[in-house]
Structure formats: C-alpha cells, structure tokens
Amino acid sequence: MNTAYQIVVCGGIVPDPLQTLEPISGPKGPALKNELLLPHVLDPWSAHALYEAAHLARQFPGSKVWLVSVAPKAKLQQVMMTVAQRVPLELVAIDGVANGFTDSADVAAALASAIEAIPGLDQSRLLLFGGWESASRGAGATMQMLGERLGITEQFQGVDQLTVGEDGSLRVLERIEGGQHQVSVCSAPPAVFGWATGNLREPTNNPQIGMQNMRAIMPALQKAKAAQFGAGIEFQSVTLPKAQRETRIVKDLSAEAIAKEIADWVAAE
C-alpha cells in the first residue's frame, strides 16, 4: 500500500493580530490603511494546517508538503523568512491581494489554477489542507469552493485531529456545537481538511530547514503569477465598531463586597 501523501496546504497572510487595523476606501474598493507597511504573519489557522501537514509527512516517508499562498510577493517573502524555518515545504506563490475584502470564490479560483499546475500531483494521494477560516475574511468558504473546483467531495471543516489507520483510512475529528467533536472515517484520499487549532505546538525555528527551503522559495516568488480578482462582491461600507464602553473601575471595595455585586449580577435576569 502506498502511504506517501501529497499534502497541499493553502494559507494566506494576515496582519499581525496585535496591529491596529483601519479600513480605507481605495480605487478598487475597501483596503487597510498602510496595508503594505503592516507586519504580516501566516494566517493562524493555516499555520496550524501547515504544522499538521509537516507532522503527517514525517510519519509517512515519501510524502511531500506544498504551501500555496495568494499574497503580495514582497509581503509573502517577508513572512516566508520565518515560516520557512519551521517545516520543510515547497512554496507555490500567487501574486495577489491578501486582505479581507476579496471574495472567497476568486481566491479559490486562483488557488485551484495553481494547484492544478503542480507537476505530478496525484489526486489519489492528495490531502488538501488549509485553515477552516481566515483571520481576515473569516468566511470559512475558500477551502470548500476549492475542493469543489478540484472535484473533491470528501471535505471536513474545523478539524482538530487526523489520524491514518492501518488500512489507510483517515479518521477525522471535526468541531461541532457544544464543544464536541464529530468523528468520521474517510476511506482514502483525496479529501479537504479545513483545520482548526489541531494539537501541535508551533515548531521551533530551524535555520537548516530555512536555508534548504529558501533555495526554492526565492525562485518560486520570482515566477509567481499575478491573480486578478473580479467584482463578485460590492461593499457599501466598512467601519470600525464605535462602541467604547464607559468602564467603571472598582478599586476600593473589599472582596466580599465585590463578590456580592458579581453574584447579584450573575443571578439577575
């Protein structure tokens, strides 16, 4: 039985979560103020997907991990300086807008074209990974649309665990309501996995892996094709929430008095 997997991870980049974000109106619709100056990171749930992919690939010799990303080339290069040190991967770069105002359908189309162009990709060994939602658009739609474009109808979202059985079947834990997981068994690839947090810690930086990766990453960035996104969505407004609460700061009450206030508040309808 062939147990080598071809794992394609789709992951965009997003502003570092600690950055202040402000929407502006640009010539092509909404954008982020100083978007290209903001420090970016690999989208957190996609990053989990990448770490899970690398972990799986280590367990099954002959497996390979690709990272396919739609982002402005220059920003992607900056992010890859860090990401490339974590896990062995081959980058497939697509030069395009990476903010939350793009449409999932357009991003899925760009990803599908890039994935279909990967030489030697075997659908029968393909595991398509990504984050179940991005930290930008947060729609949870791209991976499903991509799966449909590639004709993959075994799809899982909010995945926290994937284990391979002795018969090659894939046991999947997906998040569902009430803090529970749904357990499914998929007989074989291909399948789509939109990852939630998973169970792995962020790998430590390994300069050796970084150097090895970067040899192929720079050429991949240079030959990145530009993606043009359509007008599938029209924004009427994009605004920051205005509600700033008037915080009452209680400094001088005893623990007993505070407890009474809280208990009364908890019990109130």
Partner 1 sequence: MAETILFLAHTEADGTLSKATREALACAHALGGDLVLGMVGAKVAPAIDCHAVRYLAVCGEDFAAARYSTDAAAAEALYRAAGATVVVAAQTTRWARVLAGVAQRVGGRVDTHVTQLTQTSATRWLYRQRMEAVSSRPGHPWFVLVESGIAPAFTGSYTIDNIEQYSPGVSTRTVVTSRQAPKSEQQTIRPEAGLLFVAGAGWTKKQKDGRTHTDDAGRLILGFLEKSQASLGSSKSLVDLSGEGQAVLPFLSHMNQVGQTGSTPRHPKGLATCCHGEEPHVVGWRFIKERRAVNLDPNCGWARGKADVLYVADAFEVMERVNALLEERVPASVG
- In whole angstroms, the minimum distance from the beta carbon of 230 to partner 1 comes to 10
User: 34-38: long-range contacts (C-beta < 8 A, 24 or more apart)?
Assistant: 35/99, 36/72, 36/74, 36/75
- Are 41 and 53 a contacting pair, CB within 8 Å? no
Tokens, residue 54: 């690398």
Identify residues 190-209 at the interface with partner 1 (CB under 8 A): 192, 196-197, 199, 201
Q: In this structure, which amino acid lies at residue 215? A: R
Identify residues 207-266 at the interface with partner 1 (CB under 8 A): 231-241, 244-251, 253, 255-256, 258-263, 265-266
Identify residues 6-25 at the interface with partner 1 (CB under 8 A): 14-15, 17-18, 21, 23
- In whole angstroms, the minimum distance from the beta carbon of 83 to partner 1 comes to 16
Among 51, 66, 101, 129, binds partner 1 (CB under 8 A): 101
Tokens, residue 17: 């979560």
- In whole angstroms, the minimum distance from the beta carbon of 91 to partner 1 comes to 23
Q: Does 130 bind partner 1 (CB under 8 A)?
A: no
Among 6, 77, 136, 213, binds partner 1 (CB under 8 A): 136
What whole-number distance in Å separates Cα of residue 85 and Cα of residue 91? 13
Burial profile 64-85: b = 16 or more Cβ within 10 angstroms, e = fewer: bbbbbbbbbbebbbebbeebbb
Q: Between residues 96 and 100, which has the closer beta carbon with respect to partner 1?
A: 100
